[in-house]
């Protein structure tokens, strides 16, 4: 699973950081960003900051996306991971992409 934040939509509430501070951070601009191996991924408004999510943080990242008031957290799941038994709130379904092994995009 991978995650990115659309900073143009971020409201800066910091709920994502509350749910998973190992994957999300707030910078001095008051906007949330994803973190990969301790490095902030900074591609505002774009998926260039797509970062892998460690397995132990999958549930926390999904919960962060569910509670995000700006609806700015986007998730990409590999087809193999999509079969994992994870409950996802229907309101974030539009922000989840499932990718098959060939990299083709499919609707969630």
What pLDDT is recorded for position 24?
96
What pLDDT is recorded for position 93?
61
Q: Among 55, 53, 56, 42, which Cα is nearest to 6's?
A: 42
What pLDDT is recorded for position 42?
75
Token reading at 82: 């999509």
| Apex 106 CA angle, 102 and 107, nearest 5 | 165
What pLDDT is recorded for position 104?
45
2-106 maps to CATH 1.20.1440.120: no
Q: What is the pLDDT along the chain (108 residues), one digit of tens a residue?
A: 899 999 899 999 999 999 999 999 999 999 999 999 888 887 655 566 789 999 899 889 999 999 999 999 998 877 655 555 556 665 666 566 666 654 444 444
Read off φ and ψ for residue 90, nearest 5 degrees. -60, -25
pTM of the predicted structure, to 2 decimals: 0.75
């Amino acid at each position: 699973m991978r995650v990115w934040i659309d900073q143009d939509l971020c409201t800066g509430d910091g709920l994502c950081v509350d749910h998973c501070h190992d994957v999300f951070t707030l910078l001095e601009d008051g906007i949330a960003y994803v973190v990969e191996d301790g490095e902030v991924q900074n591609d505002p408004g774009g998926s260039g900051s797509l970062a892998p999510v460690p397995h132990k943080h999958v549930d926390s990242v999904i919960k962060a996306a569910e509670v995000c008031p700006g609806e700015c957290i986007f998730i990409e799941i590999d087809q193999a991971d999509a079969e994992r038994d994870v409950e996802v709130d229907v309101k974030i379904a539009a922000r989840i992409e499932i990718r098959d092994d060939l990299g083709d995009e499919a609707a969630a």
